[in-house]
Structure 1
């Protein structure tokens, strides 16, 4: 069967590259690396034609992955990241991206609009939209927001799974409702309004349920969760309830399916020995609830344990093969793979 070109709603490749030792990180991205999930050669192999690449600053004390091996878990919220630290870390990640673009001979393109994405695809370049996962590098006065927008930032998740000046992150907790803390702060509400004005997409994936509804009341754009799954199938605090899915549907928004096994499995386990059938089940549930035009991919590559049958971006075609075997026709697969993201990006970033 022919390969399906796809656009991915979320990955953490820039963060992983920023932690690389030795060779220039941008060259590892362009020429290939032995670790992780995404680089340019593997993106081409898996037919990834574009994606939303995240900036991310880790807390000084990270998550203990052993917590995810129990039948239930409740990870304490990591400590907040100071503005200066987050700015330094994220500026390095932007530099890696810009150096990758400059050294790629036209093979990688930083895209600010949907027209840029379409142009990159026509040229055979990897189209990258820049995202910030946790807005710790932005000050309360939002001065840095304008600077980052000028540099190409087009998508923001106000929080990661920790608190900051803009709001409260949903904890990594299983089983749990996403109603697990407060919502946006006053600064967070100003951030949402400013992002609407600048045409920066707001990502709801790591917000508490109260934060989700705060954004829903404030925004004039479609509701977007770039990398989240169905709470009915996997009762993680990070997944979306029926009521949240209703709101996304009613706003003509989108959900990008997260390949992290702990957000796919009914037992919440972080285990690469997870059947791809579970991926299909979430896609089926999302399509049934949201409709065919509001479901896409948001892999979380380089930020999660994904099913072994996929492995990395190079194995992404296994998803589309599984959907085809389940009876999804080529038109619906193309929407999930590519055009649904472009529809929402057109409505948000322009």
Structure 2
């Protein structure tokens, strides 16, 4: 009765009651509370704790107790989990998975519950599957249980909302490295759906979608499977940066750095987009560059501009100046990117590389910036 009344009780009193009840059930063989009844109560408690502690960075003591029990022991039965209970457990895994030792095991068990329900032809809403998979896969040790669920979602990708499409793309990147034949067909259909609906995505979501596609598309299929989608995105982004910068809200310099990185990785140069990006970056004396939140953004911009052969004149000057200003924050990855960009620019500065190209001749990053980068390399080595 205490457990059944638990969601209405104060957290501290509730915790003492639950802990005492669990200890009694574990130790006293004469205590005959059916395990399934106890699990139902604990699932209800999990829902209550997730709702009550929406802003908490760490789980409550009670949530830890509930997770310890739900993680279970070898051979224990399945949870009688309803959709709201599974939703709450997935939220707990996403929110506190790295702050509670039991939640990774809860994530594993939740995946098995979902797999069992699918095998039994249970109807699970795509939103529930996506939420559960997104929350549990980063914690789960094995990805095998997720394969049937992602295959189910791929088969219905045309019915998903735009935000769900983005989540599914990122799950596909996370879930497998070498999909089977049926999954390859599903991924092909997913790319077709993304191509048709990429313009519906908010601008801030475009870099995430493109980054996922870059990882999903085989290198020998980039021209046919990625470039058409990339062309649609750069056309839209170029127009927004050039004609409607006020509508590019949420798409800042960090997002632009990611898109340019993907363009460079795919060896795709959209001149209109590159020109609009350059003007946008240089307006107000490079205020956008100074607003970058991530150190790697400046490296993405410099390295991508070098590979796409547009790192010249004022753009190159501003990028190198901003990189030099942030050098003291760079770690190994950023430093390697900077030095590689310097090497690319040095090659492009050879007369044979630029005599027939319009615009100012390319140049390197300069001795001062190069020496500062090498000094930083020595400091972090």
Q: Which has the higher strand share?
A: 1
Q: Same fold (TM over 0.5)?
A: no
- TM-score, L = length of structure 2: 0.26
State which structure, 1 or 2, has the greater radius of gyration over its C-alpha atoms: 2
The structure with more helix, counted as a fraction of residues:
2
